[in-house]
Amino acid sequence: MPAAEPRKARRAAAPTLSAALPQRVAFEAHANGDVFACCADFSVGLGNFGPEALAQARRLREGLPLASFSSGKRGVDREVDLLVRRLSRRGLVEFCLSDGSIAIEPQTPNYWPQTPQLRDADTLQLSRFAYFHRRGDALALESPRADALFRLRDPRIAGVLAMLTAPRRIEELRREPNFPGLTLLALLADCGILLRARGRRPEEDFEGLALWEFHDLLFHARCTAGRHANPVGAVYAHSGVVQPLPAARPSWPGEKIALSSYCEEDAAKASAFAKLLRDRHSARSFDAARPIALAELARFLDGAARLLWASEEKSGFDDGGMAARPYPTAGAANELELYLAVENCEGLARGFYHYDSALHALAAIDAPADAFEALLSGAVEAMGAAHAPQILIVIAARFGRVSWKYGSIAYSLILKDAGVLTQTLYLMATEMGLGGCAIGISNIELFAKLTGVADHSEGPVAQFALGRPAG
């Protein structure tokens, strides 16, 4: 008798995707149904939920399959879905596969795990912005373009994913002994960590992303808000661990050469510019009864940011020409743009505007109301102020203007330019008797929502509050 043909190996069932509470997060449910998520130093209200939904939600500690509530057919399912999505928007829930291979940490408020259909004939490649690093005792895989971070609990998966530095068809990957499964590949593709190759070039090499270096895009995404779930601002991460450095550096040893005798001791006799520099300070509260006027705003923008000249003359390359404003920029790139969130300005309607420096004009932008309010609220929180500034100036960069020419040092040059512009805004405000305050944080996702412009093409790099100071 002929030998029996070997049976084909059965494909393992796809692992179940679940939502789970991280160890640092706990539930607090009040008798009236109000639910709070509590961490070490803060709590967040999640809304009011019925007892059946709360009973389901308590299963989040060990993991609650998304399929058990995401269908939304029952009222309790819709409640649980709402609760988990609110946790996800605040970075207080993670997702995991039932096979234990990964845990997913949302990095943006809109992340919800999706598994787009993949076929064996599809060709995938690892994004050039993706990277592995240690996170605690786990191996993390993330990207400044991704809405989620993946913690790999099985290090063998990293070896298979590393093969995707070159494009590979999924049918090839299936033959690998540590093939991670289609579900994980689909989750990574949904986040842009894996890309479907188009011809010889992956899809991220098209449009504005081609102009970004890996380290620049990573730094831009991590030093602003909107594309990660890490703490931002004055978090005092090293308090109690490392002593702070003194405000003034300790003197070098040796003989000193005194300079005071060469300077004007009488401040009243100092030059107007020297006095302006000394008078500059930050104002975080503004006089609601006396808002800045449109005429003052026009003068302020004219003196600090109006286009002085533009030239189509090339520097040996087709670099788009050069331009200048009252402050210097790298290579006269003129990459910085001013967007104004107007809260209270006499003669100007409340709203969001772009300052056209060539025409010396304001163009109204039909921005979503919720994004506009969130922008002002973020400024209030960042300044530690009681009220929104009369005008919030968002300093945005057209990144390609600098990266096209300067490559790996582009983002550092943009930040230097933003610092120069910030000082210029301070000095102009001081000269006019207005108040200003630099704000060290911005939100790239929020700006994209306000303008409809892709965050890798144009995005915020600094903010400045402006108005008539209180008192």
Give the start-to-end residue ranges of the domains of the chain. Answer: 17-204, 271-467
pLDDT score at 432: 97
pLDDT score at 233: 78
Strand order of the β-sheet with 138-142 is 64-65, 17-20, 94-97, 102-106, 148-152, 138-142, 131-135
Q: Which amino acid is it at 76?
A: V
pLDDT score at 280: 93
d(CA 342, CA 201): 43
d(CA 464, CA 471): 20
pLDDT score at 40: 75
Count Cα neighbours of 267 within 13 Å in the Cβ-side half-sphere. Answer: 5
pLDDT score at 8: 47
d(CA 312, CA 319): 9
Prediction pTM value: 0.87
pLDDT score at 201: 57
d(CA 353, CA 294): 13
Fold of 271-467: NADH Oxidase (3.40.109)
- Flag residues of the chain having pLDDT under 50: 1, 5-9
